């Protein structure tokens, strides 16, 4: 199932005030959705690099986990990579064919905050 024995470490983006938006979003989801998204993240963690249909590049160093949930719903978890670490910066239930610009902007903002705090 997994390609690599070497895996990516997975971390949640943490804001300056200590909140972890993706972890908080996941906690609000039904158990079956958490399981599906978690399994998809684990597949990426052990199988990186992967492509469609599970992972897609959004540009500017951002990637999306493309999870298909029950009842035809679609979830996205946006992440970027930092030296072998998968940083989860945003998660949402997708309601339109195209990823909303506001979600992309928020993800990029969090990526920049992370990089600034790391001195990148």
pLDDT in tens, 106-115: 999 999 999 9
Residue 1 lies in a domain: no
pLDDT tier, 118 (very low <50, low <70, confident <90, very high otherwise): confident
Residue 2 lies in a domain: no
Residue 91 lies in a domain: yes
Q: Read off the CATH number of the domain in which 42 is found.
A: 3.30.2310.20
Q: What is the pTM of this model?
A: 0.92
Q: Is the pLDDT of residue 20 over 90?
A: yes
DSSP 65: E
Q: Rounded to an integer, what distance in angstroms lies between the CA atom of residue 105 and that of residue 1?
A: 34
> Are 69 and 91 spatial neighbours (Cβ–Cβ below 8 Å)?
no
Span 25-33, average pLDDT: 98
Residue 98 lies in a domain: yes
Residue 4 lies in a domain: no
Digit-coded pLDDT (tens) for 4-19: 466 999 999 999 999 9
- For residue 91, the Cα-to-chain-centroid distance in whole angstroms is 6
Residue 37 lies in a domain: yes
Domain that holds residue 66: 9-118
Backbone angles phi and psi of 108, in degrees to 5: -65, -40
pLDDT of residue 5: 60
Digit-coded pLDDT (tens) for 44-96: 999 999 999 999 999 999 999 999 999 999 999 999 999 999 999 999 999 99
Residue 56 lies in a domain: yes
Residue 3 lies in a domain: no
**Count of domains observed in the chain:** 1
Can you list the alpha helix ranges (DSSP code H) found in the chain? 21-28, 31-47, 101-118
Q: Rounded to an integer, what distance in angstroms lies between the CA atom of residue 92 and that of residue 106?
A: 12
Nearest to 75 by CA among 109, 38, 47, 46: 38
């Amino acid at each position: 199932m997994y390609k690599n024995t070497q895996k990516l470490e997975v971390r949640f983006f943490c804001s300056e005030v200590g909140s972890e938006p993706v972890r908080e979003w996941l906690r609000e989801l039904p158990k079956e959705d958490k399981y599906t998204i978690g399994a998809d993240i684990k597949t990426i963690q052990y199988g990186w690099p992967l492509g469609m249909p599970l992972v897609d590049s959004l540009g500017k160093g951002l990637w999306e986990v493309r999870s298909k949930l029950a009842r035809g719903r679609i979830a996205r978890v946006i992440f970027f990579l930092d030296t072998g670490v998968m940083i989860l910066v945003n998660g949402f239930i997708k309601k339109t064919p195209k990823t909303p610009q506001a979600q992309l902007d928020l993800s990029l903002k969090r990526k920049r905050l992370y990089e600034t705090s790391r001195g990148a």
